[in-house]
Amino acid sequence: MFKGAHQARAFAAQLELLPGRLPDVEIVVCPPFVSLEATIQGLGTDTAIRVYAQNVHWELEGAYTGEVSAPMLLELGVAGAIVGHSERRQNFGETDATVGMRAEAALEAGLHVIACVGETEEEREAGETEAVLERQIAPLPRHDRLVIAYEPVWAIGTGKTATPEITQDAHAFVKALHDTSVLYGGSVKPDNAAVLLELPDVDGALVGGASLDLASFEAICRAGAEAV
């Protein structure tokens, strides 16, 4: 929940320069709902950067106060949406079933989807990581516009980062369950991005706080370009 419309428009105008400097990296930005249109305007019509929403509802319309539907996003020019982010699961009652419903509705409407999965610290310490991932991935549809993001909950906003071994093992397991690209999300920063993005089963990064600063975000994108 950062960058209102004015900040987002100005930030997007700066981001728009990145594809020219880093043509081998696919860049997606996911601003808050109120900043989607401003971000699209700031990027301009010829940009290679795609704009995704941070969430999307499973119904086309109805009595769902506070929610936003896929057709509403498409009308703005939004290309996709995140579903199932750990903060939605932890703070707003999101379940595996509703994540699957959101993903399916978004894909059916024509959006791209980044579906988030990942275990808590308690689940990892209890040896339940694979069971949790299997449970969370089971409701997700198979689709060429679906990407999965593995975000260990204990590494989000804590400064902790999964070791390369933990990250690689988790990504390989996710790919064994679902044949798609898998991003890593969990305190990705310029100083650890290269190590993470060079792992064989890591296909990209879901960047949090480090994406709010242009230099920081560009450094992570550059690490992705070098990994490619």
Task: Tell me, yes or no, if 67 is annotated catalytic.
Answer: no
As given in the structure block, the two tokens for residue 157 are 């906003």
Task: Tell me, yes or no, if 151 is annotated catalytic.
Answer: yes
Q: H or E segment at 23?
A: none
Across-strand partners of 113? 81, 146
Please give the Cα distance from 196 to 91 (Å, whole number): 28
The residue among 88, 83, 89 whose CA lies nearest residue 111 is 83
Beta strands 80-83; 112-117: pairing state = parallel
The residue among 152, 196, 194, 202 whose CA lies nearest residue 172 is 202
Catalytic residue among 94, 104, 151, 218: 151
Catalytic residue among 85, 112, 171, 178: 85
Q: Which residues are catalytic?
A: 85, 151
